[in-house]
Amino acid sequence: MAAPRRILVYGVYGAGKSTLAARLAQRLDVPWYPVDDLLWLPGWVEVPVAQQRSRIETICRRDAWILDGAYHGWRDVPLARADLVVALDYPRWRSFGRLLRRTLRRLGTREVICNGNRESLGSVLSRDSILLWHVTAFGRARRRMRAWQADPAGPPVLLFTHPAALDDWLSSLPTR
């Protein structure tokens, strides 16, 4: 079986989508397009949804790509072209714990996330906090991943509930 060349990595905030996308890109020699870079301008200004969709359509017309997320205004685009969806369906405690540790690290180091943006204490404590997004989006993301996996008309979905199973799968992939 040939290695997938168009991959959507999906999961709730903090599951490890970007980390996995980077690992897949290196292992398979497939370009990774970080979704945050496509969706956010400097100052945390959101790119208009129509422009997000256009950017994603341009990427998905290519022969090879990895995306580390899919959002409401254009989720259908990568799903229609993906060879594979890798779904990170970890327990809430695991993904929230990872997200909290990452957020605290980013606050402390002032790490640049995308397009010069950084997390701030104000953003973490706001109504738009990524921690709050995790709490409110977790159930929807989990239902979505499981529905995709059950849909024979969609792309194949590998649903991982534990990091060790993901690591086993990654080690089984051919390298390019």
pLDDT digits (tens, 9 = 90+) for 99-145: 999 999 999 999 999 988 889 888 888 888 889 888 999 999 999 99
* Close Cβ partners of 25 (under 8 Å, ≥ 6 residues apart): 31, 32, 66
Write down the domain spans for the chain: 6-169
Give the single-character DSSP code of 114: B
**Helix (H, G, I), strand (E, B), or coil: what is residue 83?**
coil
Concatenated DSSP letters of 118-165: ---HHHHTSTT-HHHHHHHHHHHHHHHHHHHHH-TTS--EEEESSHHH
- pLDDT tens, 70-100? 998 999 999 999 999 999 999 999 999 999 9
CATH topology of domain 6-169: Rossmann fold (3.40.50)
The rounded radius of gyration (Å) of the Cα atoms in the chain is 16
